[in-house]
Structures are given as structure tokens and as C-alpha cells.
Amino acid sequence: MAIDVLSRAPRSHAPGPDGLWRNWSGSVTCRPTAFVEPSDADDVARHVGQAVADGRGVRVVGGGHSFTPLVATDGVLLGLDRLAFVDEPVPLAVPEGRATHTVRVGAGLRLHDLNLALTRLGLAMGNLGDIDHQSVAGAISTGTHGTGGVAAGLSTQVRGVELVLADGTRVTASQTERPELFESARLGLGTLGVLTAVTLAVEPAYVLEAVEEPWPLDRVLDGLEDLLAANEHVEFYWFPHTRRALTKRNNRRPVSDTPLGRVRGLVDDELLSNGLFEVVNRVGRLAPRAIPRLNAVSARALGARRFTAPSHEVYVSPRRVRFRESEWAVPHEVLLPVLAEIDAWIESSGETVSFPMEVRFAAPDDVWLSTAHGRRTAYVAVHQFWRTDPTRLFAAVQRIMVAHGGRPHWGKEHAAGIEHLRSVYPRLGDFLDVRAGVDPDGVFLNAHVRQVLGL
């Protein structure tokens, strides 16, 4: 039985009145032949069948928050906002780690609405990224992750998927039913079929205590292993052109801990992510040589803060300043040389970078196309203001990452070739075999995934 879902997440995925579809950052546009919003899984199957009969490709859009042209199509674009249900949770016979229940949800459900629904059920996701505008299917399809010494990727929380395949059939897959399809579809770049429902493992609701402090970068790097050992979720933002960082540590507290307000925090959220930061970026764009000084001011302006709140409120922050981003996952042990090489390149190239670099962490997981597959992982994300051309910075970072065995985030800008991807993803060949088996005619491919996957 489905429960009511509050729906306050922004709807940003439909093409505009001019017929042009745009992603969140504005860097990707396309003009689909048709945009349709099916009412249920049978309706999805009907639209897929019609597109195949008309000789058109099909792509699905979630929240449109990927930076890469994953969604772009000149065929049929499906929006799944109407597939946004949440079923009654089912208790697990045996708890899996902290997870006590599974919950089946519509693939188009936005994370924001998922979090509200879970809260009302006394449940929560075990980890989340730093925004909640994505759909469940969109988030898992690109390997969206948070940070933590435990599994950080949302795909690791998937226990079952329901799909419409290219031949119009509706199938379900899990670790015990069509396990190879399951492994591929829980992080599949939208290339296997249309996800209509996803079953997630969830935990009892919990609160997190967040501690955020500006630290000298060298203190962070010298004490990194201790920091990671002592805290469940660690990340830091390093301000390029400075030796300063903002550290964030989130740890679980008993639910009885009274949540402390975030008023103080709003000041810092607005500085790092939003209003004031927009001004910093606009000034930096007009006067790039001022960026190192602006970064030094921003890094010092951030104050220490500590607060306790329901988990999803701590994981998620507003991101109102638009930017472009490239993020790479590297073996944990090469993080320090990677950061040193990026720093050296920035200083010697004359490139100015006004956005802090974000560093996060994950334990190894077993999802075939996960950026953390089989290895302890550090993530390094570089950003540029959306009006600033990031080409040179992203290309330089990619060179460094590729040399260190880096894996690009599938939803963030990169130009990794298939040779490199095959060398860093041991199960990529298996994924491609499963994909070809369920979609031999490439109904669910677009130009971007053909190029990335060498198809």
C-alpha cells in the first residue's frame, strides 16, 4: 500500500516553452522530439513501445542535475515525476548492518520527498550526498555518493529494481533474481531500460551532530587518518590559492539529543554556497587576479559551528550558486600526491579557481560501476563558476587523475576514454555484456554514452 508523499521539491527537468531542455548547470541542452510523463509502469512500457515502433531513442530525466550530457536526446524524453510513490516499509528478517527495513519507492521520487516520507515513518537513508533535488533513479544511475568510512554511494542501499526493457517487458531484479541485471541496473547510466521502482534498505531515523571548523590545510592533511578513524562522515573544502580548509565532521547521536537550531549555520551556508558566494564569484570573474585574495578572505570568514539535526538536514545543504563540476575517485593512498599536483598545476598555470575543492571519502563497495568499486576511495571535486570556462582546469585535473588510476563521477564533467575506463573498472566488460543483452539495438543509448562506453 502506498503512503502519501509530500511534494515540495522543485521541478526543473521539463523542456522549456521553446522546446529546449537544459540541465541544472546550463552546460547541456537538447531538443527532444517528445517529452512525456507516464502515469505508471504500464504507461512507461507503452511509451517505450511506441518510441521503438517509431524508430526513436529513449532517455529518462530525473532532476536534470547531471553535469554530463547523460540525459540529452533528440528522441523521446521521459520524465517520471508521476512515479513518486512510497510503499509501506517492510521489516528485514535479519538486520543488515544498521538497516532494519526495506522500502519500495517510485523511481521518479525526489530525494527531498523521500527524506520527508522516511522521517514520517521513523526511518532514514544511511548516507546521502549534499543536495536532495535528484530523483531516486537519477541519483543511483550515476553513482551519487556522500562521504564516510562506510559505503557512501546510494546504489549500495538498493535491494531491488523494477525496469521496463527495450522490448517493452517489465522485469524485476535483485541479488537473488537476475543478479547480473540487478548489478548493472543499480548504477546503469540509464542504458539498460527505464527504472520504474527501486527498493531501498533504510535505517531507523537518527540525528547527526555536525562540527564544522576552518583548519590550516596542512593540519587536515597531516592528521587525515586520525580524523577519518575518529569520525563517521568527514569531508573538507580546500580553498585554492590558500593553505586553508573548512572541515566537516558528522557523527551519530542518540535520537533523544535535542536538535540545536541552525541559525548560526545559515551565515556560513550563505557564504560557502549561496548569496555572498555568488558576489565573490561575480567579482572574481571580472577580476580573476583578485581570486586568491578573495579565497583567502572567504576561508577566514567561515566560523566554527556545531549543531545537531535529523540526519538528512545535516547531509544536505542549499546550493544556489550555479557552477560546473568535475569529480574523480582515486585510491585513498594517492590523495595527498593528487592534491599536491593539482595545487602545483594551479600555481604554475596562472589559472584562478574561485570555488573551494571538495574532498570526500568512501569505503570499498561491490557495485559494478561504482566509483568506489573494490577500493578504499577519496573523491576530489573541482568546480568553476558557471559563467567561467572550466575547460583548462578540468583537462589538467583529468590528466592528473588518469595518471593515478582515477575514476570519473559519471554525472560530472569528464572526457575519460573507454581504454582508461576498462583499466579502472574490472566489471565494465560484464556490464556491457548485460547491457547489450537487454538492449541490443541501443534504444537507451545517446551520443554521450556511446562515446563514453565505446559503443
Chain residues binding ligand FAD by CB under 6 A are 24, 59-66, 70-71, 80, 107, 129-131, 134-135, 137-139, 141-142, 144-145, 189-190, 194-195, 319, 409, 411
Judged by beta carbon, residue 102 or residue 184, the one nearer ligand FAD is 184
- For residue 238, give the C-alpha cell: 580546500
Please compute, for residue 188, the number of CA atoms within 13 A of its CA located in the half-sphere on the CB side. Answer: 33
Q: From CA 139, how far away is CA 65, in angstroms rounded?
A: 9
Judged by beta carbon, residue 24 or residue 237, the one nearer ligand FAD is 24
| Total Cβ atoms within 10 A of residue 333 | 11
Judged by beta carbon, residue 89 or residue 153, the one nearer ligand FAD is 153
Residue nearest to ligand FAD (CB): 138
Q: From CA 393, how far away is CA 29, in angstroms rounded?
A: 22
Answer whether 210's CB lies under 8 Å from 168's CB: no
Closest to 137 measured CA to CA, from 182, 176, 106: 106
CB of 79 to ligand FAD, least distance (A): 9
Q: From CA 25, how far away is CA 19, in angstroms rounded?
A: 18
Judged by beta carbon, residue 135 or residue 242, the one nearer ligand FAD is 135
CB of 80 to ligand FAD, least distance (A): 5
Can you point out the beta strands (E) in 128-223? 158-164, 170-174, 194-204, 207-216
CB of 179 to ligand FAD, least distance (A): 19
Answer whether 372's CB lies under 8 Å from 363's CB: yes
Judged by beta carbon, residue 2 or residue 287, the one nearer ligand FAD is 2
CB of 208 to ligand FAD, least distance (A): 15
CB of 7 to ligand FAD, least distance (A): 15
Judged by beta carbon, residue 146 or residue 265, the one nearer ligand FAD is 146
Judged by beta carbon, residue 65 or residue 101, the one nearer ligand FAD is 65
Q: From CA 437, how far away is CA 419, in angstroms rounded?
A: 22
Q: From CA 377, how far away is CA 404, in angstroms rounded?
A: 12
Longest CA pairwise span in the chain (Å): 61
CB of 182 to ligand FAD, least distance (A): 14
Judged by beta carbon, residue 116 or residue 292, the one nearer ligand FAD is 116
CB of 218 to ligand FAD, least distance (A): 26
Can you point out the beta strands (E) in 340-437? 357-362, 377-385, 407-408
Q: Grid coordinates 580546500 are at which residue?
A: 238
Closest to 269 measured CA to CA, from 321, 231, 233, 309: 321
CB of 195 to ligand FAD, least distance (A): 3
Judged by beta carbon, residue 64 or residue 214, the one nearer ligand FAD is 64
CB of 425 to ligand FAD, least distance (A): 17
3-state secondary structure 232-284: CEEEEEECCCCCEEEEEEEEEECCCCCCCCCHHHHHHHHHHHCHHHHHHHHHH
CB of 446 to ligand FAD, least distance (A): 8
Judged by beta carbon, residue 84 or residue 338, the one nearer ligand FAD is 84
Closest to 373 measured CA to CA, from 194, 237, 186: 186
Q: Please, which residues bridge with residue 195 across strands?
A: 163
Torsion angle in degrees (nearest 10) through CA of 398, 293, 215, 353: -10
Q: From CA 154, how far away is CA 431, in angstroms rounded?
A: 18
Judged by beta carbon, residue 144 or residue 308, the one nearer ligand FAD is 144
CB of 13 to ligand FAD, least distance (A): 6
